[in-house]
Structure formats: structure tokens, C-alpha cells
Amino acid sequence: MQHKAGHAQTEAEVNKRLLDRMLFFSDAVFAIALTLLVLDLRPPEHLEASIADTLGGMASAFVSFINSFCLAGLWWFIHMRVTKLIQIFDWPVAICNFLFLLTVTLMPFAAALLSHGVNTGLVWAIYWSVNLGSSATLTLLVLMATRSGGKLVGGTTAARRYFNAARTFSPSLCFAAGIFFGLKAEVGLAQWAWVPIPFLLIIMARLQRRFA
């Protein structure tokens, strides 16, 4: 009996270590990705007539940085909201989490590409495709972590599970629109594709509180 209790305690300790490692690793990836975003904000070696002119020439780099920093922050907040409920380490969840982090590490590349082609529709299509990948893989993580009645998160209902997934996936509608407008060379529309995201998240949160 004592041996079984010790074995169960060992399993719990191993489970906690694995879960902590997954979450610490995720936070480290976010920290590195956010740090890499700022590397494209290098001032030119030779300043122009005035600082204002110099900063004006860096406008696209600033737009790319702020846009990307906010979106990466959105993914971090959603990821934190999802993973804070996980109580049991699970390899399928870890794999989904790894796939999500793959898209996060692509954000600095997409941001750098955008800073040099902010007026190019194809660049916006690529940029939104990276974010669509983040939204899709994070939704997969939500579904995987809440499967089997939410055994990994202490239980959940089917309605709450699918509302959580829909809420996480809702930004994808904006990213898909951004990709469409980018491929159609409608740059003015593509660059503002992110605007409805806060409203979608608010609507989904209210619907979830009412029906789930």
C-alpha cells in the first residue's frame, strides 16, 4: 500500500515537472519572439536632415512592430487563459502546443517582411496567413485540452468547450479576410483586417456567459 502511494506521488511529481516545463518553454518562446520583433527598428546609419524625417522613413517598421507586438500579445493572453486550467500533462496537448509555438516563432519573420513591403498586397496575405496559423493551432490546443469531458482541466461541458474553441478561432475570420484582400491587392482593406478582432472576442465572451 505504501509502495503504491509512493508510486502515485512520483507520478504526480513527474506530471507537474512536465507541465511546468511545457509552460516555461512556451513563455520563453514568446519572450524571444517579442524581443526579435524590435530588432527591425534599427535607425539608419546616416541620419537625414531631421529626426522627424528619419522617423517618418521608419513608419512602416513602426506599423509592423506595433501590429505584431499586439497580435503576439493577444496570442499570449489567450494561451495563458487556456493553459492555466490544465492540471494534467498530456502528450497530444504538448504536440499541439508545439505546433502553436511554431507559428509564434514565424511572427518576427512576417513582421520583418511587412516592414519592407507594407504597401504590397501579397506581403499582407503572408502576414495574415501566419496569424491564421496561430489562431488555428491555438484552437486545436483548446479542443485537445478539453476533450473527454475536460479531464485535463478539471471538467467542462460540451457547450463551454465549443464556445471556447469558437472564441479562440474567431480572429481567423479577420485573418482570412486579410488574406483575401491581400491577394486581391486591396492593401487598404488588408491592413485594417485586424480591427474587428476585439469586437468579435467581446461578442463571443458575452454569448459564452449567456449560453454556456
Q: What is the pLDDT of residues 80-115, one digit of tens each?
A: 999 999 999 999 999 999 999 999 999 999 999 999
Chain-centre distance of CA 147, in angstroms? 21
124 DSSP 8-state letter = H
Write down the pTM of the prediction: 0.89
pLDDT tens, residue by residue, 17-34: 999 999 999 999 999 999
For residue 107, give the amino acid letter.
M
Give the cell for residue 148: 473527454
Alpha helices in 151-196 (DSSP H): 158-169, 171-183, 187-190
Angle at 69 between CA 96 and CA 23, to 5 degrees: 35
